[in-house]
Structure formats: structure tokens, C-alpha cells
Structure 1
Amino acid sequence: MRNTLPAMSYVQTAFPSLAGHVGVGVEGSNATVQGDDKWHANSGNSLAVPPMDPYGPVTRWFDVFSRGTNSCAWNAAPWVPWVKLSQYNGTVGGSDGQDARVFISIDWENAPKGPNTTVVNINVTTPCRSFDKYGYPEPTIQVPVQIRSVPDNFTKGFVESDGHVAIEGPHFQAIVPPSGGASANSTSSNGTVSKLRRFFHGNAASAERPTAKRADSEEITYHVLESYGRTSGGVSLWPQNLEKLSLDAAPALEYSLYLFSNTSAANVTLYISPSQNYLGDGTPLEYGIALFPAGDPQPKPTLVRPVGNTVGTGMPDGWGYAVADGVWGHVGNYTTSRFAVDREGAYTLRVWCLLPSIVVQKIVVDLGGVRPSYLGPPESFLLSRDVAGEYNQTSYINEVDTLGGAGNGSLARQKKTGGAGSVFLSWGTLALAAVGTMLALL
């Protein structure tokens, strides 16, 4: 409300912490050891990093830092040789010490074989101990390692890691023709979609583009919007002047997944561009969604209406958050659907956009592992594109983490160019968002 700095606190440097001169923190937690704080059990000496598996981030990390007055040496020792560290020892504090971020990696070739989860400990020791040794054991970092692999018959699709699957909307595996009898036409794609298929399928000549037909013989399909939205791009129905479609008349975006978890509450959230019921509340924005085991008959899709009614001058519920965040889906459950995943295996996710203003930017399948973040998890491992044990998932554009990543940069190598259709829809949605912002501010 005011341009006033919050209250500031200072770390005193005249005396060491009661818990010792050396502290340890880990990725994904506010807790530190040695010592007591509200983020871990009293007198506990162990902290766990997020789990590691061949389809997840290449590295996890922990920090070793000074909270005392002395120059203190430290040593880190994993219990098994196939857990590797970027740094095994160092010095913190004093005039010559420096805090260190240590990256953990796995030698997957020499890790135990077979599907299992094991927890590997890393001991962190220092000779700088005084009375703290009577109250606190020396720190231990726990690394959950999930050793697993997809079967050979799953050759294309996204793979679960860390209890979730995150997908950039334009990275679909197929467009499914409408179920109402429209034929699939093997016409050549427009430039944007052709580029996408070459990148993901490696053979543009064999890529087919299923479409529906309107009465005026204009095809109904999906158009990829590169460099659009909050992350890599978006995808929406084309052409722009469509009336609202029924499920039977709409083509579907299809995404292939391999899930290791089984749960009765797999929450699938679509991040879609902010738009209102521009045809009136009697014809609301709507999409269909279904998640089911690959090869099984498709169940009846769940219909979702993410935008509520506009009452007088009041905007729809959640509209202010959608405009501020640039998407429906970040705040609230307006675009979240729940499905049961009763077994490990290959799954099919389908999305039917029923109006062109449904622009899918991102999809997140939460199987219990999604943590709070603004952009959502970075995109998951994609079989046929990424290399197991090497895919760096530290950002949505897959840039190499200068501190410890070893990304392949495959997404970063895509040129950020867009066609006229991208500009047209981007400006249309931006105009809607601008109007919503002004109304929200009023």
C-alpha cells in the first residue's frame, strides 16, 4: 500500500550461531541443519532434496554456508559411489571462505538395476564444532533415487517425473478428427504446424493433419502460436471466425503420457489464455478433456466452462487473477479436472477446444508432486526428443543452468518466429486482456 521497505533484520557477526559455524540447506526447502526451525523436526539432522530419476532434472543441489565467525573446512561424502557431487569439500567463513552450492548427479549406468526407490545419504562434516555437538548431530542430506524406465513399446510421449507431467500446449502428438463423421484430410500443414511436426516426428512428409469441414468447405483444425503466452507458445482452433463447436464436431489435441504413479486424484490443469464469454454468457467458453489408458475406449469427455457470468459491471469470478497472471489456471480451480489413474502405464490425454478463444498454453498433470510456482513445472521429458539422464528441465526454454545444469538446449534452439495467424490471435487476446485489466482496475 505504501512505498516503504519491510522491517529489516541483520545477521550478527560477533558471535557464532548456537547451532554451530556451518549450516546446510537443500533445494526445495526453507529448512537448515544443524539447528531447529519451523520447517523441520526439532533436533533433526537430515534434510531431503526432491527425488531424482532418469527422466527428471539432471541435478539437485544443497548449500553449505557460514553462520559463524571462524574459517571452517567442510567435507561431503555420499554413501554410494554412483551418487556424484560437483564439490566434495571446501571452506566457509573467515577471510578466505566462500559459501558453496553443491550439485548432486547420478551415474545411471552404474546405479542398481531394476524398478525401485532407494534413499542415499550424504554426510556433511566439519571440525568446527563446540558445544553444538551436544545438541545436534552432524547434517545428513537424503537423496531419493527412483530407478525406473519406460517399456520398449512406449516410443513417443511425455514421461512422468517427480509426481507430475508438464506439457507445452503446442507439443501435441496428434490431432484427432471429430467423431461426428468428418473425414481426415492428408493436406499439408501451414508453415508453423509443419515446423512443429518436423521437430517432434522427424518426418514432415509422413505427417498427416486431420481436419473437419464447415459448410463453406473451410477446414477446421488447430493453429500453433509460436512465442505466444507465458512460456513457449499456444495452440487454438482455426479459423478464428468459428461458431461454437459441439464435441462431435471438434477435432482434439492428443498428448501421449507414461505414468508411473497410480492415484484416484490426478488433477489436470490447463493454462489457457485469459478471455471472456465473448459470444455472451448464453454461449460460454468451453472445452472437453479426457485422460484414459492408451488403447482403452475413450470415455465421455469432461466438459469445462472456465469463465463465469458477467453480472452487471462485475467481471467473472477470478477474472482479475487471470488477467494479472496472463492465464486461467494459475489461481483457483477454474481449469482443473480430476481423473483416476488406477495403474502404471501409457495414457492418452485429449483436449477439445470448442471455441477459438480457448488458447492452450500449458498442461500440468499433478499426480501429487507439483510444488507452488508461477509458471508451473518446466516441460517434462519427451521420449523421441530427449535423452534419459541428460535432459535439463530447469526452465521452460531449456537454457543451460550456468551453475550446474547440462541441458541439451533442444527447445532453446527453436527459432522464435510467428506467422500472421499468430500475430492476429495474439493481438486479439491481448486486446481482451487489456480491456479486462482496465475494468478490473476500475
Structure 2
Amino acid sequence: MLGLLPLAFGVLSSLNIVNALGQTRCVEFNSSPSSFTVVQGGNAAPILLAEDEWPGVQRAASDFADDIQRVTGIKPSLSNSSTPASGASKPIIVGTLGKSSLIDRVINATQMDVSPLVDAWESFMGMEVKNPLPGIESAYVIVGADKRGTIFALYDLSEQFGVSPWYRWADVPVKQHQELFISSSGCAHGTPTVQYRAIFINDEQPGLTNWALEKFTNGTGSPGDGSPFNRFFHTKLFELLLRMKSNYFWPAQWSSAFNVDDPENKVLADMFGIVMGTSHEEPMMRSIPVEWTLLGKGDWNYTTNSDFIYQFWVNSTIRAKPFESLFTMGMRGNGDLPLGESTNIDLLEKIISDQRVILSNVFNGTDVTTIPQVWTLYKEVQGYWEDGMKAPDDIALLWSDDNWGNIRRFPLESERNRTGGSGVYYHVDYVGDPRDYKWITSSQVPKMYEQLSLAIERDAKRIWVVNVGDLKPCEREAEFFLNFAYDSSKWNLTNLDSWVFAWAEREFGLDEEKTGMVVDVIGNLTKFNARRKPELLNATTFSLVNYREAETVENQWDRLVNVSTELYNQLSKDAQPAFYQLVHHPVIASANLNKLLITTGKNALRASQAFLSTNELADTAEKLFEQDFDLEQAYHSMLDGKWDHIMDQTHIGYYYWQQPMTNALTGLARVQSRKQVLAGVMRIAPEGTLGAWPGDDMNNCPAQFSCPNFTMTLDSFDPITNRFIDVGAGGPAPFTFKASTNASWLHLSTTQGSISPDNLEERVWLSVDWDQVQDGDNFAELVFTPSAADGPGLTVGMRTAAVGVNFVATKLNVSNNFHGFVESAGAIAIEAAHTTRNNSVEGVTWAEIPGLGRTLSGITPWPRSGANGRNFTAGEGPSVEYDFFTFNTIQDSGNVTVVTHVSPSLNANGQDRPLGFAAQVDDLPAQSSYFMPFAVPGQLPDVWNDFVANSIVPVNMTFSGVEPGAHTLKIFMIEPAVVVQRIVIDTGGLKKSYFGPSESVHV
């Protein structure tokens, strides 16, 4: 069950034409007749720019020259001149259309066709041009439609040369090449899919703040708020953003104020080419709560203090006027809270009206509709919109997710013609209910793709913002978000894992086989952390007794650690720090946390079962707890402490949603190591029960005392093909034991053993020789008999008290012509992607999203805009079928319960289009489920915290009149955007666990 899942990484041949994570490759490392020489024979092509070029382009060109030197060791000259230095005849000419006089000359001299760039946003083109200027034989000419188009063109080449955007921020080594060439036809890119693409630094304490205090200040930060986020921090971040084709930024807010902390912040952002904004709850370029705390007077209340707040916004608008900005409109309560109860739609409409008057006045009567503005429909603010609040058509609507990566609503068809467009505010980090998740990466690229591709389809493409928290734990996910926003056309269901493959190949330079291993590690790391966020785990999240769930989880992490360690050890020393930050530390730290919490659960269980191993488990838990800090320190000490404090985030010992003030391990149990258990020297714990024998235990039977022997069962179709019994010490007295059975078909892994304080437990495995048993139930009895030497306080009964265990082996058969999934132990489990038949209707079919979800993957109707985006009547839409065979029904009633595990998704299609699907068993009436309750506008359903905590929505449907035998289950599409991960059919034996049974045997 739930093994280490190999994740196919798409059609690898596609990587031959994909580089720089989605860009068409134009860089070569060997000369060809159709290539332009950048570096060869120790010489580099000079770089020419016009003196009147944008300062940000001039600065990026300097980075470009440095990048060439990083790759080849040769630094090209960089000059504001129309002729190359030192007589070189083949330069690289860089410039922006309509801004660079040098580019104007080239276009006039060559009639170069730049029509694709005219009035285009952030587009660029590059090609070799003959005789571009007098005295220049040929040149590689880079032209940007605007300043960021030119900047992106330069950084795109740098990335293809071998400089990762994360060369500084994650210490990715630069790939070395002696020679560099660009194909003469060059690289080009049109207008990005999403116009404004941003990250939001948020929840920045403790990691990023403490790190920046150490690295960029004298430890005190700026006056007033102590913020470390000054020009030295931001300029390095701006470069990273531009290298990832981001153009927009929401700065940290909780203990900093971008425009106040360092007067150069805003100047440098504009010079670099970054459009500045403020978060969803910080209107008019003001940092809230910090600037209000520093500069505000009175209450943050527009009803009682509008005059002061109005002027407060006037001043910040004047401050922002010289720089490229995107203004956040509206108003929330101070500190990212809802406004007061007296707030109403009329007031909010007045607030936005007044804000637009401010914009018009400050911008000297400029048409306010031409000034970029956004209103974020976050939490209760969405409710204002849905309750009828009006907002000017040119203001972009930013639809929010639920803070857990599930978009609350997409623009309806009637909302898609707004001139301001719409977009998405998304989270890969969050502080709030049901629990903070900040410590380590726990968002899946497939899940992000599933939600964000819906945003593309529904035309939410004006603005995308991703909340990345401290940034460092979420590097890969932040880049996927920005990369998909930059060009969504590159990625689809058939090549999604190719993005991760290309990312891993770029960062670590491994061969194809090992890069594929990295893809598997990353896919499983994020899957394991996403199925329940690390901060939400506890000692009993995973069942300790059913379906070997906890042990399977431990084994999964062990295998992942082994593979990651193998890869880490094979990397060169200069590549290991990047792999450690981006892959290995998240793996080993997450594995350690899971093992710690499972061990504490086993500790409590063994204490209740009166096993002396309780204490050993407590010792192991304490070691794992301390090892958690060791791993944090290892991260902080690498590279001479470059990333000190980045992993300061606490993550163990949550009591409620907010982070604990320190990691705390509570509740470890101990037993008295010198005291014998009352019932005897030996303890027996059969698989499948919380109880233990001999003696009384509340879990041994409903009566809780004088319980009979435990009965173990195994049938011939169980995917777990054996059982075990743990034999352990009930005190300090050593003993030997013998195990015997009265059935020749029941095989024991051992028939004797020795237990002592040095060997506290032994596991006896039980297996059945199915060739020796008859059809139906076969009964056996096992007896475990201890033998201990006489000792203080030990009676004869305590030394020799035998324990019996009953065993029932059930041999089952299915029809010879049946092919499908077979019931075992009263349940059938099916991964949704393992369909028997997939039936399309009107061009829509169910398609697999590889790697999505808790176990294997998810399936969803595709294309989601197929059949004109319409819905279907239950039983008439595209369907998937699963053939299954049952031996039982619930209490012989003829009833079975189908539990469909659906991804948490909200009713994002609108009030009249709730998410829904239908299920049908055989020809019984199809049952519909609109499984997601609606909530008050702007709120979430009451059950939502449970759904996102468990990363699944279980949908139960009971079907009557299902006799034992062969059957077919059908799942029908009703609405698009439903994602089904798994199906469990309960025929009367389903046990409590987090995931459910292992997938059933398929014959």
C-alpha cells in the first residue's frame, strides 16, 4: 500500500526542444554554420547598448555579461557605443523598441521586421542580422517590445547558457562551457499569458526576517519597525524575480513597510523594472498595519476617520506616482482582518470611489481607467462582490484561493468581459485555520497545475500573485507558478512532469536516469507532505493497527531518504548545497518528523499494552526530536552559515492554528522498567488490534475484561498477503517462547524466540499455503508459551502463562471470466486512474492528472471547457467504469457503500453550478452528489477545515440490492472540475484509517 510511487516524467524527447523551463532552445555549445558566436577561442562577442536605453536594461546587460563570464570564464566588453571595442565585427546588440536609438538605427539600416513587437507587452525577439551598422559584418540583435521584454530576453539566454535563476538564492552551480553559440534564427517570445506575475513575501517571521537581519543589517533593522528588508535585500530579490520572468511584487507586510524602511526601495524597484504593489489588504500603496502604526491617527475606520485616512492615501499615492505601480483598492480591517460589523456595501463603494478620485487628482487628471488597479476578493471581500457590490469595470478582480491552494471561485462567463480582467491570489504558505503551514514545501505541482489551468481556461489572466511566505522553503513551487503564468501553453497533462524534469536537469546537471530519480523524489516528497501538512500531523494520524498504514508511511519515507541520500552523495561538492536546500533537507527533515510522530504513537500504544518496549520507543522519540534540531542546524551551518536562521520555523507541538513558540514534544509514556506486568512475563499483540494478551485490556473485546482469544483473518485476495504477531517483554524478566499451530497450512516465520531487556520484541510472521486449504473458511489455533526462570515476584503462572490466537484463512474464488478488482476483508479499494473503461461524451473524457492527490493520481473530465463548458444530467455524461467482485454485503443486507475520494474543491463555477458527479452500480438508479456545501458569500463551508486538513472529501453513497458477485461501478461527470482520486467500496469490513485499504487485487 502506498509505496514509493514512480512518477512518469512525460515524453523526455520533448526536452530536446525545451530549455529554460519552457523557452524554445536557441543556445548551442558547439559551432555550426547556422550559429552566432558568443564565446570561442577565449574571445567573447562585445555587448552594445545605446546610452538612452532604460537603466534597468543597462543593469540587466551587466548581469548578462557577468553570466557569460560565470559560464566561460571570459567576460565580454559592455559599452554604450555603436561600434564594438577592439575592432570586433560581430557584437551582440541589445535594445528596446522605441527607446534605444541604437536599435532604431539597426532597424532603419536592415529593415528588420519587428512588427510582432509593436504594442506588445514584454515580448522580445533575437536573431543574427547582417550588416546592421556601418563597419559591423553581422550581429546578434536582441530587441524587446518594452524594457522588461529586453530584460527577459537577456535572462532567458543566461539561463540557457547555464545560469539558474537560483544561482544565488539556492546556490545552484553555474554550468561551465568553454564556448557559447546562439542559433542565427535566435530566440523569441510573445506576450506572456498572464500580464502581471508576482510573489508575495508574507508570514516572514521567523525564518526570512531573522536571516535578513543577520545578512543585511547590523542586527537592528530600520528605525520604527526594525525591518531588515532594505535595498540590499530587495535588489537581490528583484534580480531573482526578473530571472524568473516575474514583473510584479507584493513586499513583506507584518513587520516592515517597503516604502518607509528604505527610501531607495521604491526607486530601485522601478529602475530594475519591477511593478510595485501592496497586498490584498493594503490599499493605495500603504503598508498595513506597519505604516498605520507609525503614521496613523485615530481609528482605521472610514466611517469615523475618513478625512485622515483619505489624506493618508493621498500622500502614499503622491509617493508612488513617479514609479510603475499597481494600486490595491478597497479596504480591510487593520491587520488583515474583516472590517467591522457596521461595514456595508455602500461604504465600500464610497471607499473605492474616493480612492479613484485620489488617483485622478494625483495623476493630474489622467484617465483613471488607464491606471492599473486591483481589488482582491479575499475571504469576506468576495462576499461583498457576490452580494451585489459594484466595482468599476477597469479594476482587475483578483479571485483568491482558500489559502490551501483551492480557488474559491473563477470568473463567470458574465464577468469575463471586464476591461480590467481578473486573476488569482494563490498560497503555497499560510498562517491561519485549520493550521499554519510554513515550515517546509508541501504543495504539489500537479495540484497547482490543476487549479491554475482552470484559471487560464476561465480567462483569469490579468494578475497572478503567489504567497510564498519566507520564499526559501518554496523555491520550486514559486517558480512553477511564475513559469506557468509566463507561458501556460507549454505545459499540459501529457508533459507536466517534464517541467519538474527540466527544472531538476537545470539545477543539478545529472544524467537522464538520475534526473528521473530526482523527479520521483520530488513528486513523492510533495505528495507525502501534501496529503497532510507536516504541521497537522500527530501521533495517530496514520493507523497503528489497520492496513499497516503507519509502518507503510515510515517505509515510504525511509525509501525516499535512501534515494535522496544516494543522489546527494553522487553529486559534486559544488552541487550538494543546492540539492540539500531544494530536495535533500526537505526529504530528511520531513521523514524525521513523520518517524518521530509515529514513534510517539507506538509509544502510547505499547504503554497501553503493557510492553516494556514502551521505554525504548520513548528513547527513540527523544532522539528523533533532537535530530530535528540537528537537521535545522546542519542547514544553517552549510556554506559558512550563508542561510543561518532560514529554517527557524517551529513545527512540532501545535495546540491550535498558530505556530508554537518552540518545538515541543509532549505526552511520552514510560513504564516502570523493574516491575513485572501482572499477567505474566510475556506480552502478545496480534496485528489488527489495539489490544494485548494475556490479561485485561480495554481494546481486547467490547466487555473490556475476561476477553476471549483474538481471532486473526486472512483471505486469498488480500493485497497484504501475510499477518504478524508481536511477542514482547512484560517486564525485566527474560524468557524464551515457543510458537505452535495445529494447522499444517499455516506457516510461522519462527517457532521459538528469546526476549530480554536487550531484545524487547520479536515479530512472528504468519502466511498461508493456499494450495493446502479448502474453499471457504479454514480454522487454526496458535499457541505462544513462555518459559522464564524463577525470580523475585514471579509465580509459576506468570512465568508460563500461554496465549492462544485464533486464525481464519478464507479461500475465495471468482468467476473464470471475470476481470476486475476483487473484494478482500469486506472492502474494495481502487485508484481512480485504474479504470476498466473510459467513455467519452461530446469530446469530453476523464483524464488522469499524474501524481495529484494523496495516493496515486487524480482523474477529471477533460477538456474542462469541452462541450462548451456545460454540465450533464446524472448518468448521461462522460463516465469511467470499474468492474469489481464482491463476496459480502454490509451485514448481509444487500447494501454496499461506495466512498468516492474527491479532491477538495470549492463551488468555483458559481452558485448555480455546484460541483457534482454521479455514481451507479450496475443498473441501479444513479445517485448524484453535490458534495460541497455552499457557504455564506465570502465564507467557507463549516466542514472545510476537515476537508483541507485531510486533503480529501469522502463522498458516501449506499446502494441496495447488490448481491455477491460481479458488478460494475460507473462514475459520471455532472460538472467540470471535479477531481476523483480513489474509490473504496465498503461491503461490511472497512476499518478506520487515514488512506483506506491498499488497492485491491485485480484479476
TM-score scaled by length of structure 1: 0.70
Show CA shifts across 1:71-127 (max 9, x none): 2100110110110111211000144x441111111001112x23x213311100012
Bigger share in helix: 2
Question: Does 1:282 find its partner at 2:912?
Answer: yes
1:52 and 1:143 in contact (8 A); partners too: no
Deviation string 1:17-69 (CA, Å, 9 cap, x unpaired) is 11111100011111111111111242446122343334442111110001122
1:238 maps to what in 2?
862
Counterpart among 251, 268, 272 of residue 878 in structure 2: 251
CA 1:127 to 1:166, structure 2 compared with 1: closer, same or farther past 3 Å? same
Q: Is the contact between residue 262 and residue 342 of structure 1 (CA under 8 Å) also seen in structure 2? A: yes
Q: CA RMSD in A?
A: 2.1
- Alignment partner of 2:788 out of 116, 123, 128: 128
| Counterpart among 705, 724, 730 of residue 67 in structure 1 | 730
Equivalent residue, structure 2, for 1:174: 837
Equivalent residue of 1:323, what SS? Answer: helix
Question: 1:221 is matched by which residue type in structure 2?
Answer: T
3-state SS of 1:126 partner: strand
Distance change (3 Å), C-alpha of 1:357 and 1:317: farther
Aligned partners of 1:72 and 1:93 also within 8 Å: yes
| 1:417 paired residue number | none
Q: Match for 2:762 among 87, 97, 100? A: 100
Task: State the shift of 1:135 in Å.
Answer: 12
Asked if 1:340 corresponds to 2:1002, the answer is no
Q: 1:9 to 1:227 in 2, by over 3 A?
A: closer
User: How far apart, in 2, do the equivalents of 1:370 and 1:299 lie?
Assistant: 22
CA 1:13/1:284 → structure 2, altered by over 3 Å: closer, same or farther?
A: same
Q: Supply the distance in 2 between the matched residues of 1:137 and 1:382 (Cα, whole angstroms).
A: 43
Residue 277 (structure 1) shift: 1.1
Q: In 2, are the aligned partners of 1:307 and 1:317 still within 8 Å (CA)?
A: no
Q: Give the structure, 1 or 2, with the largest relative contact order (CA under 8 Å, sep 6 or more).
A: 1
8 Å Cα contact 1:18/1:132 also seen in 2: no
In 2: Cα distance, 1:71 partner to 1:12 partner:
16
TM-superposed CA distance for 1:381, in Å, is 0.5
Q: What is the aligned partner in structure 2 of residue 304 from structure 1?
A: 929
Task: Tell me, in whole angstroms, the C-alpha distance in 1 between the residues paired with 2:875 and 2:920.
Answer: 14
For residue 82 of structure 1, what is the aligned residue in structure 2?
Answer: 745
Shift of 1:348: 0.8
1:4 positional shift: 4.8
Which deviates the most, 64-73 or 336-345? 336-345
Partner of 1:153: 817
Flag the 1:168–1:325 CA change in 2: closer, same or farther, 3 A: same
- Measured in 1, the distance between the counterparts of 2:721 and 2:952 equals 29
Are residues 1:366 and 2:1002 paired? no
- Post-superposition Cα deviations, 1:230-265, rounded to whole Å, max 9, x if no partner, equal 111111101022222223641211000000003433
Q: Distance in 1 between matches of 2:941 and 2:879?
A: 27
The answer as to 2:990 corresponding to 1:380 is no
Residue 182 (structure 1) aligns with: none
Match for residue 696 of structure 2 among 36, 53, 65: 36
> 1:270 is paired with a residue of what secondary structure?
strand
Distance 2:734 2:727 in 1: 13
Indicate the structure (1 or 2) with the bigger Cα radius of gyration: 2
In the alignment, does 2:921 pair up with 1:322?
A: no
SS in 2 for 1:321: helix
Which among 681, 686, 709 is matched to residue 26 of structure 1?
Answer: 686
Alignment CA distance shift 1:355-1:124 (3 Å): same
Kept after mapping to 1: 8 A contact 2:717/2:823: no
Asked if 1:227 corresponds to 2:841, the answer is no
2:787 is paired with a residue of what secondary structure? coil
Consecutive unaligned residues in structure 1, runs of 5 or more: 177-210, 214-218, 293-297, 330-334, 384-442
Contact 1:44 1:136 in 2 (8 A): no
- Corresponding letter in the other structure for 2:803: P
Distance 1:102 1:228, change over 3 A: same
Q: Does 1:212 pair with 2:841?
A: yes
Does the aligned pair in 1 maintain the 2:896–2:958 contact within 8 Å? yes
Following TM superposition, by how much is the alpha carbon of 1:132 offset from its aligned partner in structure 2, in angstroms?
A: 6.5
- 2:709 aligned to which of 21, 26, 46: 46
In 2, the alpha carbon distance for the partners of 1:47 and 1:273 equals: 38
SS in 2 for 1:320: helix
CA contact (8 A) 1:123 1:139 kept: yes
Residues 135/108 of structure 1: CA separation in 2 closer, same or farther (3 Å cut): same
Partners of 1:49 and 1:61 within 8 A in 2? no
Is contact 2:875-2:926 (8 Å) kept? no
1:412 corresponds to: none
Deviates more, 1:256-265 or 1:266-275: 256-265
For 1:307 and 1:25, locate their aligned partners in 2 and report how far apart those are by CA, in whole Å. Answer: 41
TM-score (normalised: structure 2): 0.32
Deviations 1:351-371, CA, capped at 9 Å, x for gaps? 102223111100000111111
SS at match of 2:919: strand
Deviation at 1:140, TM superposition (A): 0.9
Cα distance in 2, alignment partners of residues 24 and 341 from structure 1 = 41
Q: Is the 2:740–2:751 contact (alpha carbons within 8 Å) kept by the matching residues of 1?
A: yes
Deviation digits for residues 165-213 of structure 1 (CA, Å, limit 9, x no counterpart): 000000010024xxxxxxxxxxxxxxxxxxxxxxxxxxxxxxxxxx322
- Maintained 8 Å contact 2:915/2:976: no
Stretch deviating more after TM superposition (254-263 or 47-56): 47-56
**Which consecutive unaligned segments of at least 5 residues does structure 2 have?**
1-654
Instruction: Give the SS at the match of 2:797.
Output: helix
Amino acid at match of 1:349: L
Structure-2 residue corresponding to 1:198: none
Asked if the contact 1:45–1:139 (Cα under 8 Å) also holds between the matched residues in 2, the reply is no
Q: Does 2:974 correspond to 1:354?
A: yes
Please tell me the residue identity of whatever aligns with 1:92.
I
- The one-character-per-residue Cα deviations of 1:378-409 (angstroms, maximum 9, x if unpaired) are 100011xxxxxxxxxxxxxxxxxxxxxxxxxx
SS in 2 for 1:308: coil
Distance 2:925 2:962 in 1: 17
Against the structure 1 CA distance between its residues 135 and 253, is the aligned structure 2 distance closer, same or farther, given a 3 Å change threshold? same
Structure 1: distance between partners of 2:694 and 2:796? 9
For 1:269 and 1:146, locate their aligned partners in 2 and report how far apart those are by CA, in whole Å: 25
Identity of aligned residues (%): 26
Q: Which amino acid aligns with 2:771?
A: E
The alpha-carbon distance between structure 1 residues 153 and 237, as it changes in their structure 2 partners (threshold 3 A), is same
Kept in 2, the 8 Å contact 1:289–1:351? The answer is yes
Distance 1:137 1:167 in 2: 44
Which runs of structure 2 are paired with 1:181-200 in the superposition (5 Å)? none
Amino acid in structure 2 at the alignment position of 1:101: R
Q: Distance in 2 between matches of 1:175 and 1:310?
A: 34
